Amino acid sequence: MTEETLVKTLLSSRSRLQSRALIIVRDTHLAEDIFQEVMVRALQQRDCFESAQSLMAWTHTAIRNLSIDYVRRLGRLNGILSNVAVEAVEYRMDRLAQESGPREEAMKACLERLPDESKNLLHLRYDKGKKGHELACMLQRNENAVYKTLSRLHLALKRCIEDRLNHSGVSR
């Protein structure tokens, strides 16, 4: 496989591959680090990949292993989902992969429509890595209220994305 094809293949699935790492590591910055590391390793052994399928199969295993390795090093291995649950989430993720292009566009549009306050909360959570109790402290609210707000925002975003996809003719 040429370097160009390999890079294109992996970059076109970047969000999905980072999401895969996120199932286990739950830190968006770490997920990106893992994606980059896997990409470097894939480039080092690009001659082993005969097709995009074999590259993706290898990438999925590598992401899973590296994610577990990171979590293990952080001493958080006991805090992750069971193997069966992780596999079930990955399976559904792959089924949704075909429509990832329009979905990402819809996601951007929906994020833009969010009020600043909501957007700030999501940035603090997923970009700055602030946890529920830290956000509760910052916002002078209790932790349960923070998680309620976060879950409502996620649900609202999901509905907004689905509306846009339905409107543009892409099914759920």
Partner 1 sequence: MSEQAVEAELWELLCRYMADECSEQELETLSRRLAVDPVACDAFNAILSQAVAIRDDAEMQRAMAVESSKPFLSHLVRFPFTSGAVSLAMVALFAIAMGWYFSIKSHSFVSLQIVEVHGPSRWSQMDGKKSDSLQIGQRVPFGKLETLSDQSTLTATFAGRSTVSLFPNGAAFFGQSDGKKSESVNFTTSPSSHGFSLSAENSHAIELAFGGLAVDAKFESGSEGLVVKTPAAWLQASRARFEIEADGSDTRVNVFDGQVRLQRRNDGMEILLNGDEQTMASLNNQSRFRVVSTRLPTKAWRCDLSKVLHGSFGVVQKADEARPLRLKAQPYVVPENNTLTFRTSVPIPWKGFETVEATPGMRVRLSGYLKEATDIEVHISGRVQNAGIGCGYFIRFTPVVDPVSGRWENEFLLSGCKRVFSKRLTKEESELPIRINHTNIYTIKIDAGLEVDGLEYIPPPGSSLSLAALLQR
Please work out the total of residues on this chain that contact partner 1, with binding judged by CB under 8 A.
Answer: 71
- Give the number of residues written for the chain: 172
8 A C-beta contact, residue 129 and residue 139: no
92 binds partner 1 (CB under 8 A): yes
Q: Which of 84, 117, 167, 169 binds partner 1 (CB under 8 A)?
A: 84
Q: Which of 11, 98, 101, 128 binds partner 1 (CB under 8 A)?
A: 128
154 binds partner 1 (CB under 8 A): yes
45 binds partner 1 (CB under 8 A): yes
Residues 15-44 that bind partner 1 (CB under 8 A): 15-16, 18-19, 22-23, 26-33, 40-41, 44
Give the 3-state DSSP-derived string for the chain, with helices as H, strands as E and coil as C. CCHHHHHHHHHHCHHHHHHHHHHHHCCHHHHHHHHHHHHHHHHHCHHHCCCHHHHHHHHHHHHHHHHHHHHHHCCCHHHCCCHHHHHHHHHHHHHHHHHHHHHHHHHHHHHHHCCHHHHHHHHHHHCCCCCHHHHHHHHCCCHHHHHHHHHHHHHHHHHHHHHHHHHCCCCC
Only one of the segments 5-13, 49-57, 87-95, 163-171 lies at the binding site for partner 1 (rule: CB under 8 A); that segment is 87-95
Q: Which of 91, 117, 140, 171 binds partner 1 (CB under 8 A)?
A: 91
Residues 93-122 that bind partner 1 (CB under 8 A): 93, 96, 103-104, 107-108, 111, 119, 122
Only one of the segments 1-9, 49-57, 85-93, 163-171 lies at the binding site for partner 1 (rule: CB under 8 A); that segment is 85-93
64 binds partner 1 (CB under 8 A): yes
